[in-house]
Structure 1
Amino acid sequence: MRGPFRMPAVERGERVRWLADFGRRFMVFVDVEEEFDWAAPFTRSDYTTTAIRALPAAHRRFADAGVALTLMVDAPMAADPQAVAILRNVAGDGRSTIGAQLHGWVTPPFEEAVGVRNSYAGNLPPALEAAKIDHLTHALAEAFGKPPIAFRSGRYGLGPSTLGMLAARGYRIDSSVRAYHDYSDRHGPDFAAIGPAAFVRDGMLELPLSTAFIGAARSQGPWIYPKLARLPLVLGGMARSGMMSRIALTPEGMPVAAVIAAIDALLAGGEQLLVFSFHSPSLVPGHTPYVRDARDLSAFWEWWEMILDHLAERRVVAASLADVLTSPDRRPAGADRTGAG
């Protein structure tokens, strides 16, 4: 049994250079998935798919604000005719897009033991991970009329072979990396060396979930945080004192004031693409730890209103998946951007 996958740091030549007219953009990814008990052991069958009924109203809110959604759909949702019909309508807005999200424990073939380690698909034998990707890709192509080109491994479960597998199957974008996060203490991948910038590796455009360090010591975050990762009391004290916090761009568990500070830190650091994400079951109270009741759901939408207002003030414009695919500058890093390169 191999150890956790540790993704190597991004090299200068891998980092994406955006075209001059790209400006500053943001994307919203939605993990469209089944509802299950997040505190219970993993299971292949104990889930429901009812929260999808809240997606059309949520989509209208985002569409009215000019925001395209990238909908990362997993196998149980692709197998639910009602969910497929709802998702077809949402993706029919001309800007939102269907992508793939792999929850390995509920995606055939079922050859592995169900448990925490195997919930990260990148830990599976490569042939089994590839077979699950193939099943999911085929299911989505059947459901929506064309194969997806954007992929996310559930639980950020990227493995050493995943990107190459995806490129070989026609995928173009992966979003399985959570910048500056290390899940190796629970058998998951280690992304501590990966920052928020988009990069190209193994033929795939990688769009990490945007994360920033905020606070007085934020500039030291990328190297201090990994050293203190096993000392939660120390990290909690640093956050409470305002010295340093690690903030991801998600309404789930991240206070709006901290996310606004993270947005500003990312923009100040030169990031041109901000990547947000949330889970579709959070649209209905009681399905995730982040939206437990009606008050939490109201706070969820207040969070988005404040964030979208702040992005508008900072002139950060919503981008669709198609916008992002057509905007990287394909010349090597260091090429003359005003000449032939």
Structure 2
Amino acid sequence: MIVAVPTVFHPPAPAPEALVRWPDAFGTRFTLFVDTEEEFDWSAGFRRDGFTTSAMAAVPEAHRRFSERGIGLVYLVDYPIARDPAAVAFLQEPLADGRSEVGAQLHPWVTPPFEERVSVSNSFAGNLTEAVEAAKLDRLGHAIDRAFGRPPRAYRAGRYGLGPHTLRLLAARGYRVDTSMRATFDYSREGGPDYSGIGNAAFRTGPHQTLLELPFTTIFTGRLRRRGGVLHKRLARLPRGTAIAARLGLLNRVPLTPEGVSRSEALEAIRVSVGEGLRLLNFAFHSPSLVPGHTPYVRDAADLRRFWAWWEGVLDLLDRLNVRPATVDEVLQAA
């Protein structure tokens, strides 16, 4: 059996010359990536079986809500979705809107070949040997190409699990965009990567800087936000340190997602990010959250109403601030 590589992957902050200088005509924009995946028990251990894909039936109606506002979504499809004809069918109409597209998301525990043992460490694909990670990327990419008639060019590692070989493997397979880095988050306690050095700015990376990295946006709010990166990490070592700091209005780390983030937190984070000149905001959510009972974030009908109220408030604010949606094509051309 193949075991995980023990070294924590710790990508450094990008060099100044790697940062994208967006042209004035690009304005301030946002992207929306959907982790389009199977439903499983988030509180249980990882398994190769026991999952379903029924929540995909909610995608067409959800997509229409975003499409009415001119938003194109990037559906980061994983292997169980790409191999399920019914799930693929639910995505055909959304992908025909002229602005949305299919990307790839690798959940290694449900993506063949199954040469590694199932474990928390191996749930981060970047911990696998290079050969196994490459083989899983190939199976996933081929499944998406067969299902949708186009190869993916945007990628997110499941659980944000990049590793030392991943970017080179992606570039060799024709990917143009990676969005695996979750700005300021550190997964090293679970054996995952540490993105403490990664901020919100888009940058070029990979071999010969052929990949565009779009970090999952995370904004620090509160009176101490300018010291956010260092201070938040110190507070995390204290019992309820980060929660107390957030409640006191001192420091709050806010990822741009409706999952586990209140609407008021998100609205403040957007105001801060735009006020401080961030030119591209990157939002995300998981497709199973479209149906109650599949994620810890949408447990019942009331949670689902809050999910959609979150988006209504966020999209209204973005509109007032003249932050417009961007497609992958528009982002690549501007970069």
TM-score, normalization by structure 1: 0.95
How far is the alpha carbon of 1:222 from its aligned partner? 1.5
Q: Structure 1 residue 310 and structure 2 residue 328: aligned?
A: no
Write the mapping of 1:65-144 to structure 2, written as runs, cut at 5 A: 65-144=69-148
> Take 1:224 and 1:232, find their aligned partners in 2: how far apart are those partners?
14
Q: What is the CA–CA distance in structure 2 between the aligned matches of 1:34 and 1:89, rounded to whole Å?
A: 19
Q: In the aligned structure 2, how far is the partner of 1:265 from the partner of 1:159?
A: 31
User: Given the alignment of the two structures, is residue 181 of structure 1 paired with residue 185 of structure 2, yes or no?
Assistant: yes
Deviation at 1:266, TM superposition (A): 1.2
In the alignment, does 2:300 pair up with 1:296? no
Amino acid at match of 2:329: A
**Cα offset, 1:320, TM superposition:** 1.1
CA 1:168–1:274: 2 relative to 1, 3 Å: same
RMSD of equivalent CA atoms: 0.9
- Give per-residue Cα distances to partners, 1:215-239, cap 9 Å, x unaligned: 0000000121223333241111111
Does residue 6 of structure 2 align to residue 2 of structure 1?
Answer: yes
Aligned equivalent of 2:256: 249
2:64 is the counterpart of 1:60? yes
1:10 shift after superposition: 1.4
CA displacement 1:277-335 (0-9 Å, x = unmatched) = 0000000000000000000000000000000000001000011111111111xxxxxxx
SS at match of 2:25: coil
Q: Distance in 1 between matches of 2:188 and 2:226?
A: 24
**Alignment match, 1:321:** 328
Cα deviation per residue 1:20-55 (whole Å; 9 max; x = unaligned)?
Answer: 210000111101100000000100011000000000
Q: Which residue matches 1:15?
A: 19
**Equivalent in 130, 152, 157 of residue 153 of structure 1:** 157
Separation in structure 2 between the aligned mates of residue 214 and residue 116 of structure 1, nearest angstrom:
31
In the alignment, what sits opposite 1:25?
A: 29
Q: Which runs of 5+ in 2 are unaligned?
A: none
Count of aligned pairs: 328
The residue number in structure 2 matching 1:219 is 226
The alignment partner of 1:278 has SS state of strand
Aligned to 2:198: 194
For 2:131 and 2:21, the matched residues in 1 are separated by: 34
**Residue deviations 1:233-282, cap 9 Å, x none?**
11111111000000000000001111111111111221111000000000
Q: CA deviation at 1:115?
A: 1.0
Distance 1:56 1:116 in 2: 33
| Distance in structure 2 (CA, Å) of the matches to 1:47 and 1:230 | 35
Check whether the contact 2:31–2:283 (CA below 8 A) recurs between aligned residues. yes
Identity of aligned residues (%): 54
CA distance in 1, matches of 2:158, 2:147: 20
Residues 1:170 and 2:177 aligned together: no
3-state SS of 2:294 partner: coil
Deviations along 1:80-130, one digit per CA (max 9) or x if unpaired, are 001111112210111111000100100011000001000000000011101
The alignment partner of 1:276 has SS state of strand
- 1:66 aligned partner, one-letter code: G
**Match status 1:281 vs 2:288:** yes
SS of residue matched to 2:240: helix
Matched, 1:233 2:240: yes
Asked if 1 retains the 8 angstrom alpha-carbon contact of 2:6 and 2:191, the reply is no
Q: Supply the distance in 2 between the matched residues of 1:20 and 1:266 (Cα, whole angstroms).
A: 17
1:264 lines up with 2:268 in the alignment: no
Residues 232 and 191 of structure 1: is their aligned pair in 2 closer, same or farther, counting only changes over 3 Å?
farther
Q: Provide the rounded CA distance (Å) in 1 between the counterparts of 2:24 and 2:252.
A: 32
Deviation of residue 168 (structure 1)?
0.8
Q: Distance in 2 between matches of 1:9 and 1:226?
A: 16
| Aligned twin of 2:50 | 46
Where 2:26 maps in the other structure, the secondary structure is coil
Structure 1 counterpart of 2:89, one-letter code: A
